[in-house]
Amino acid sequence: MKLDSSDRIEEAERREHNDVVASLDEPREVEVSKDLFGLKASLLVHVGVTLLGVIAIWLAIDLGVGTLGKPGPGLWPLAAGALMTAAGVATIVQTALGERVESLRGSARPAFGVALAIVFVLLFSFVSVIVALIAVFALWTRLLGKLPWRSVVIWTVLGTAALYLLFGVLISTPFPAPLTAIP
Amino acid sequence: MDAILHGFGVAFEPINLLAVLLGCILGIVVGVLPGLGPITTISILIPFTYAMSPATAIILLAGVYAGVMYGGTVTSVLLRLPGEAASVVTAIDGYEMARRGRAGPALGISAIGSFVGATVALVGLTFFAPALADLALHLGPPEYATLAIFGLMLIAYLGGGSFSKAMVAAGAGLFLATVGLDPISGAVRFSGDSLQLVDGFDVVAIVLGLFGIGEVLYNLRPGSQEDGDTVTTKIGRVFPSRADLRRSRGAIGRGSVLGTLVGLVPGGGGLVSSLVSYGVERRVAKHPEEFGKGAIEGVAGPETANNASSTSAFVPLLSLGIPFNVTVSLLFSVLLVHGITPGPQLVDEHPDVFWGVIASMYIGNVVLLILSLPLIGVFVQILRLKFSVLAPLIVAVSLIGLYTIDNNTWSMWVAITFGVVGYLMRLWGFPLGPMVLAFILGEILESALRQSLILSGGSFDIFVTRPGSLTILLLVAAIICYSAVSLFRARARREGDGAVSSESSGAPENGPSASDGSAPSAGQHRLVEKK
């Protein structure tokens, strides 16, 4: 059977592809280890979640549930709280049967991220948007990103300028604090 | 026909064309960046859309959504790091193709499949949404209440992980939605002394907190950051060969139909459709042994399906007024902010929005195809941006963006609080999607349920005496029974194995939740292929 040129190219491509496929290893498996809480801590998480549901029920009843024909403002929150509680109990049972949740180990960096976000809002509210942007970019890229100082300066200047242009100039946002305040 | 032509008239207005173009480019860029998903991006952009017309706002955000779906593929193929949840499946064979020097054809077939899939779904949307809207005019509060419950249940079920944890999240979302004014009695609920809480929580603050800041915090954990990943893969020729196209055409055809149908099901968009498509392709393949080793069908099918499903997910929003996934629910919120209530009347009362959005999606689809193939090399350069630079940018833009909504720092504090909540939820395996969706559906559900009870004089019979609501309730019961049976079977299997699998813990690393649509972290994608 005579092949035309395009078929020959396809055939060659297919052969090349098959050769490469055969020459490579199996797909790589990457192991990821997880730190899991033990039984008590896992139970504590799920009991806590269930308690939130119980609190929701309590608040709903306090609001006034009414009747099915004349539902009060608390009827629907009561249903939501009941769903949370029932599902929460199911998670407790699952935990008792052997399921575990991830531990908080490794949460120091996320906690620092939260702290930076809080610092940002405080500076934004009471000092200056520019100071807030400089602080969050510099601290984040240096302390969390571990970038060299040169990169920290470049990204801080670029990020601050870009966001100030976007929100301050383009959208004319009335910022809560003066733009150029010195901390 | 006149209606869709009118839609194209709206879509071709310069501002709307610009919105499509901007949305698609932004979407691809964001999709390429690991750690940012469509939900976070759309949430960040919502404050910027308040000054736009409703049609322009939705056109921009729909463009972002479509762009993200494609952009996520680039990192899946090149780094095995899905930019968004729906691309997780593509990472399996796409990455293997890249390892064999075939990154170009993998990305090329993804673009082509995405275009075909989204076009098929758009045709379905054009014809199916108005018909469904007509039908929906006959639905009453009992049907809406049961439909919303059905949606929530299915989203919780399809979301992966623990069903009970998903229901805890849904319950929390429903409760949060009740904070503020009671829509029927006008009573103020759970606001304490806070004036801000009288209006309830702002959905954008909650979503940006859970998905935006929560995502950043989650990626700060040791070992989660993508810093240090650099692009070493040579892209090569992007256009697939004729042999590739021949092998892929069946997968693309099946993926288009399958994705369109799955997208109509609550929680069916994105990851679920691509997973189903991958399973189907492996089953029908002549050489199933090539799956996992770089089979192009394993890229073409899922990519087609996820784009088709993300498009057809607009059908329930535009026709019923009920969003069935988190991303679409954000568009629902944007319409509400603009004073438009999505629902069966949308097509008649706001044809500019209804048909303009559909027409712009056709245009966006073409724009994506034109942009994605020749510009793949350019978009890949974005991958060089380090997460440690991106993270403060996401946090600062999210927080200042929230401030611009009402020039008040209250929403910023709410977002930080929910950022912490989102971090803990992800850490402990509580899916975020059901919580946000329940929060958004909460008001519809409460109003419909209470109206139904008032209509029936307090009797639940109204839900079982109407054929529509009875059918939906039976489906809900079936989901609960199936879920319970699956749980017991899994338990029995685990006992048989004598080991506690990490999957049952519901920890988020077992793969991203389908209903979340959040960008998976580095840890997540690596575990997916172990399942």
Residue of B nearest to A19 (CA): B100
Interatomic CA distance for residues B431 and B508, integer angstroms: 8
User: Are B182 and A13 a contacting pair at CB < 8 A?
Assistant: no
Residues in chain A within 8 Å Cβ distance of B403: 124, 173, 176
| Sequence-distant (≥ 6) Cβ neighbours of residue B126 within 8 angstroms | B4, B358
Residue B493 · residue B475 · CB < 8 Å: no
Q: Cβ B389–A141 below 8 Å, yes or no?
A: yes
What residue segments make up the domains of chain A, in order of their start? 39-96, 108-170
Give every CB contact of residue B241 below 8 A, 6+ residues apart in sequence: A9, A10, A13, B105
What pLDDT, on the 0 to 100 scale, is given for residue B186?
84
pLDDT of B120 strictly over 90:
yes
Domain that holds residue B68: 2-528
Question: pLDDT per residue over B173-188, tens digit each?
Answer: 999 999 998 888 888 9
Using a CB-CB cut-off of 8 Å, the residues of chain A touching B531 are none
Which pLDDT does position B482 carry in this prediction?
77
Q: State pLDDT tens for residues B140-167.
A: 889 888 888 888 887 777 666 788 999 9
- For the stretch B289-299, pLDDT in tens is 888 888 999 99
Cβ-nearest to B392 among A30, A112, A136: A136
Give the gap in angstroms from C-alpha B349 to the nearest C-alpha of chain A: 31
How far apart are the CA of A1 and the nearest CA of chain B, in angstroms?
18
Query: What local confidence, expressed as pLDDT, does residue B510 receive?
Result: 36
- Closest chain B C-alpha to A180 CA, distance in angstroms: 17
B523/B78 Cα distance (integer angstroms): 16
Burial of A36 (C-beta count, 10 Å sphere; 0-12/13-18/19+): middle
Contact residues on chain B for A9, CB-CB shorter than 8 A = 241
> Which is nearest to B322 in space by CA: B478, B155, B480, B475?
B155
Residues of B with Cβ-Cβ distance to A59 under 8 angstroms? 190
Instruction: Name the minimum distance, in Å, from the CA of B121 to any CA of chain A.
Output: 31
Question: What does the pLDDT read at residue B530?
Answer: 32
CB contact under 8 A, A125 and B162: no
More confident: B440 or B476: B440
Residue among A83, A121, A145 minimizing CB distance to B174: A83
Is residue B77 very low, low, confident or very high in pLDDT (cuts 50, 70, 90)? confident
Q: Do B167 and A83 touch (CB under 8 A)?
A: yes
Residue B227: closest C-alpha in chain A = A145
Instruction: Kindly report whether the global pTM for this prediction surpasses the value 0.90.
Output: no
Token readout for B97 is 């193709």
Check CB contact under 8 Å for A107 and B185: no
Over its C-alpha atoms, chain A yields an Rg (Å, rounded) of 29
Q: Cα B231 vs. chain centroid, distance in angstroms?
A: 27
Let me know: does B294 contact B243? Beta carbons within 8 Å. Answer: no
A34-77 tens-digit pLDDT: 688 888 899 999 999 999 999 999 999 999 888 888 888 999 99
pLDDT band at B48 (very low <50, low <70, confident <90, very high): confident
For residue A31, pLDDT over 50 is answered with: no
How many contacts, defined by CB atoms under 8 Å, are there between A and B?
Answer: 246
Cβ–Cβ gap B500/A98 under 8 Å: yes
- By CA distance, what is A111's nearest residue in B? B217
What is the residue type of B492?
A
Share above pLDDT 70 across residues of chain B, in percent, rounded to a whole number: 87
pLDDT of residue A74: 92
**Whole-number average pLDDT of chain B:** 82
Contacts of B391 in chain A (CB under 8 A): 113, 140, 144-145
Q: What residues have CB less than 8 Å from B47, skipping those under 6 apart? A: B204, B401, B402, B404, B405
Could you give the number of structural domains in chain B? 1
Q: Which residues of A touch B449 (CB under 8 A)?
A: 76
Confidence at residue B235, expressed as pLDDT on a 0 to 100 scale = 66
The CA distances from residue B49 to B58, B332, B338, B373, in Å, are 8, 13, 9, 29
Output B155 or B34, whichever has higher pLDDT. B155
Check whether B527 has a pLDDT greater than 70: no
Q: Which residue has the higher pLDDT, B133 or A91?
A: A91
- B35 close to B390: Cβ distance less than 8 angstroms: yes
* Minimum distance, in Å, between the CA of residue B378 and any CA atom of chain A: 21
What's the pLDDT at B302? 92
Give pLDDT tens digits for B495-512: 666 544 444 333 333 334
Provide, as residue numbers in chain B, all residues whose Cβ is less than 8 Å from the Cβ of A120.
Answer: 395-396, 399
Compute the average pLDDT of residues A70-96. 93
Picking from A27, A77, A137, the nearest residue to B189 by CB comes out as A77
> How confident is the model at residue A137, as a pLDDT?
96
pLDDT category of residue A117 using cuts at 50, 70 and 90: very high
Of the candidates A84, A104, A106, the beta carbon closest to that of B175 is on A84
